[in-house]
Chains A and B, each alone.
Chain A
């Protein structure tokens, strides 16, 4: 048996206003990518893409998306991505830019890369904190996401647990 091999493109949607990221939706991305490929590679490219094209993962908070396509033709998709300049969602047009972070063979490797990349970004952005209070804020926010911390919180009083969850 031979399986169909795919390529997963891990991309980041960059927008001017972070709040407009929340409008990000799977269908809007699907449509935008399809039209971009059809424009830059014509009927031939669009037909090749549609074989196993899917938007596997959308994170509206961080703007990370994961797109799947056939391994043999991922270059078609790859080269068309920079030509997407706006995403349309519920009648609203959002100017954006899609940059490809990683091309992987499985979702697993993409996830591994994403964790590594996010850690790197955090290390890069931490020195930008202006004062100690800001740094503490970030530290607390990071710790609030980790699993160990959550377990600790459960042991503590309920009132404090609510505080953590708010962040």
Chain B
């Protein structure tokens, strides 16, 4: 009989103060030109609607914004993550146009947002299938 493996307890404590969110704005009538400042304003107004003046005052940053795909990366303190996320979910319109915010990825490490396993594509041409293409 083999000895059963010794019980080992692994506790992972999050060392990071921040969470990073990759979000994408989807507008009803296709994309249009939105600047980073306008995008942040939209998020702040969503926060103000749901959590009032107090909620609109908590710190978060828009680190990067791509106006072409309307995708941005937010950095927020762990304590504000749930508030920010729920406010993002309830954003319903931008300048009288229906819209939605899709949260693509959330991670405590910024590096994790550089790649998305859901968008990985196996290269069909490669016989071994080892080569992966990031899209």
Contacts and interface: CB of A to CB of B under 8 A. Distances in A.
Contacts, number: 30
Interface residues of B, number: 9
User: Which bucket holds chain A's interface residue count?
Assistant: 10 to 19
B52 A38 contact: yes
Interface stretch (B34-42, B43-51, B91-99): B43-51
A42 B52 CA distance: 4
A41 B54 contact: yes
Interface string A29-63: 00000000111111111000000000000000000
Given A39-B52, A40-B54, A44-B51, 10 more contacts: A37-B52, A40-B53, A41-B51, A41-B54, A42-B49, A42-B54, A43-B50, A44-B50, A44-B52, A44-B55
Q: Which 3 A-B pairs have the closest CB atoms?
A: A42-B52, A41-B52, A42-B51
11 contacts: A38-B52, A39-B52, A39-B53, A42-B47, A42-B48, A42-B49, A42-B50, A42-B52, A43-B49, A44-B51, A79-B54
